[in-house]
Structures are given as structure tokens and as C-alpha cells.
Amino acid sequence: MTLRINDTAPDFEAETTEGTINFHDWIGDGWAIMFSHPKDFTPVCTTELGAMAGLMDEFAKRNTKIIGISVDPVEAHHRWKADITTATGATVSYPMIGDPELKVAKLFGMLPSELDGTSEGRTAADNATVRTVFVIGPDKKIKMMMAYPMTTGRNFDELLRVIDSLQLTAGHKVATPANWKKGEDVIVVPAVSDADAKAQHGSFEAKLPYLRMVKQPG
């Protein structure tokens, strides 16, 4: 299954470290990040899950839930949590999906749909494609996806930046330029006329006819 931005995220029921969830019900009316890792008890992933645990309050401020997933069973996730705390000082309190039958990984295109079997005996290298991030909006549509190589730890501050940008777009019909950070000037989207841009923002700077900059609203 090939997923693209603006596709509806597949719904599913799964066991997690916080009990059974229905994915769409769990998201509710807010935003969500589902991030996957190839295998528990591996070095880069240990640092990543700790980093996300340390940012939970920042995501909560943005009405954004966090959920992890790998093809390991839930029992392994529970055992791994202690190592994550030891290594990073952070406690993982967000749910982690156990996907030993590979169902969710295949549903989201992180493993080939024709792959048979379970996670039993699979190595991190076998699961290398299960290292993806999905940002999902309140409408349950995929707003962003990115996949990383196994050897490069992900930059989770970038996810905060993406959420800030997406939420600005959803609320104010603006886009964000390259390397934008919260509080910096933003772009009026092309679908908004000059008259409507002035009514909404008061004024704008037209660097080009199609590149109109305004102060960040809100």
C-alpha cells in the first residue's frame, strides 16, 4: 500500500503498552504523530524514544499525541522502557504499539504487503523500512511523512517545527518559508487575493507577485 500526503491514515486496532486502542478513536479531535522504529533494544532507537519522551509536554501544548510502533511485542516494549530511562533520563509514558504480526507496518507501507510471517527472528536490518514518521491531522489525513536511515537519529525538534507550520496553515491560510522558526514571518498562500491578504493581515511585503510575506498571525 502506497500512502501519500492528504490520504486518510489507515485505521486499525492494536495492542499497546497503554492497552488496546482503535487508532482513529485514539487520535480524537487533535493531532497525532506515529513514529516507528526497527527493533527494541537497539542503540539509535533508544536515544530516539527518550528524546520523544522529553518533548511530550511540548507536543501536548500543540494538542498533539505521540504513539510509537515497532514489530516487537508489547512485552518487549515494557522491558525496554527501563533501558531508555537509564540511557536518556526520560520516562516513556506515551503508548507503544506492539506489531509482531507486522499488520500495521504493512498497512502503512513500512514493510512489503506480500511479506509473510511474524517478527520472530527478524533483525533490525530486516525491518529497516520500519523507521518512518507520520503526522496526522484532526481530520485523520496524513499531513507529513518522513523516513530515516537506521544510522541517523531523527531530529524531533523538526517535528515540533512542522506541527507549528501545519497548525498555522490550518488556522490562517499561510505557509512557512525555508528554515522557518516559530515567530518568524510567514507567506500568504497563493489562493488568497491581495485584497483578502490586506483584510486579514493589515499589510504584506510583496517580494515577488506570488511571494507575499506577513508577520506570523496568532
pLDDT in tens, 102-141: 999 999 998 867 777 777 777 777 777 678 999 999 999 9
To the question of domain 173-214 being in CATH 3.50.50.60, the answer is no
For the chain, domain boundaries:
13-153, 173-214
pLDDT in tens, 156-174: 999 999 999 999 999 898 9
> Could you tell me if 2 and 81 are in contact, meaning their C-beta atoms sit under 8 angstroms apart?
no
d(CA 165, CA 96): 26
Examine the residue annotation and report whether 6 is marked as an active-site residue of this protein. Answer: no
Select from 2.40.128.20, 3.20.110.20, 3.40.30.10, 3.40.228.10 the CATH code of 13-153.
Answer: 3.40.30.10
3-state SS assignment for residue 96: strand
Position 98 pLDDT exceeds 90: yes
Residue-level pLDDT at 205: 96
Q: Give the number of other Cβ atoms within 10 Å of residue 13's Cβ.
A: 12
Say if 13-153 and 173-214 have the same CATH topology: no
3-state SS assignment for residue 198: helix
In sequence order, what are the beta bridge partners of 133?
35, 146
Q: Which of 9, 32, 33, 45 is catalytic?
A: 45
Q: Which are the contacts of 87, defined by CB distance < 8 A and separation ≥ 6?
A: 46, 47, 50
The model carries a pTM of: 0.91
3-state SS assignment for residue 146: strand
Q: Which residue has the higher pLDDT, 129 or 78?
A: 78
